[in-house]
Each structure stands twice: as structure tokens, then as C-alpha cells.
């Protein structure tokens, strides 16, 4: 009740819409912080996925070069040597 008696004069002077705006503003700020955290986590995940994709591309490039040089099959490797 003490809280209500302290808020009541403010409600009389600025009105109910200002109180609703204050509640909305506090809610909005908490949502912005939550979204910033989600975006930060998503960027870290994307960074890790990019590194994984680069690693896979390097491995595929090595396999492709071995196939082009006929070093893939051990039998062909013995015949070439």
C-alpha cells in the first residue's frame, strides 16, 4: 500500500498514459537486451560454421587434387611409381 500511495500523486500529475509508457519503455529495454544477446550468440555460431566450412573446403580441395593426379587409388599409385 505504501507504494501505491507514493505513485498516486504522480498519476494525478502526469496521468495514466505516462505510466503505461514507462512500463512499455522498461519492457522494451529488456527485450532489446535479450535480442542483443541472441544476435551475439548467433554471430558466434555463424563464425564457427564459417571456420568449419573453410576446413571442409580445404579438405575437398586436397581430395580433388589427389584425384586429378591419380593418387587416390593405391593400385594406380603403385603403377605410376
Q: What is the mean pLDDT of the chain?
A: 84
- Tell me which DSSP letter residue 69 carries: T
- The residue that leads in pLDDT, 47 or 10, is 47
**For residue 28, pLDDT beyond 90:** yes
- The residue that leads in pLDDT, 39 or 19, is 39
The total number of residues shown for the chain amounts to 81
How many angstroms separate the CA atoms of 81 and 70, rounded?
11
How many angstroms separate the CA atoms of 10 and 64, rounded?
74
Is residue 57 a contact partner of residue 49, using CB atoms and an 8 Å limit? no
**For residue 49, pLDDT beyond 90:** yes
Give the whole-number percent of the chain exceeding pLDDT 70.
83
Phi, psi of 13 (to 5 degrees): -85, -45
Cα Rg of the chain, angstroms: 32
pTM over 0.85: no
- The residue that leads in pLDDT, 51 or 67, is 51
Amino acid at each position: 500500500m505504501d507504494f501505491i500511495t507514493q505513485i498516486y500523486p504522480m498519476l494525478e500529475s502526469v496521468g495514466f498514459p505516462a505510466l503505461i509508457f514507462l512500463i512499455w519503455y522498461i519492457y522494451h529495454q529488456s527485450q532489446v537486451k535479450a535480442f542483443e544477446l541472441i544476435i551475439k550468440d548467433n554471430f558466434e555460431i555463424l563464425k564457427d560454421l564459417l571456420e568449419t566450412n573453410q576446413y571442409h573446403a580445404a579438405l575437398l580441395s586436397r581430395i580433388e587434387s589427389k584425384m586429378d593426379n591419380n593418387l587416390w587409388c593405391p593400385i594406380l599409385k603403385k603403377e605410376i611409381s
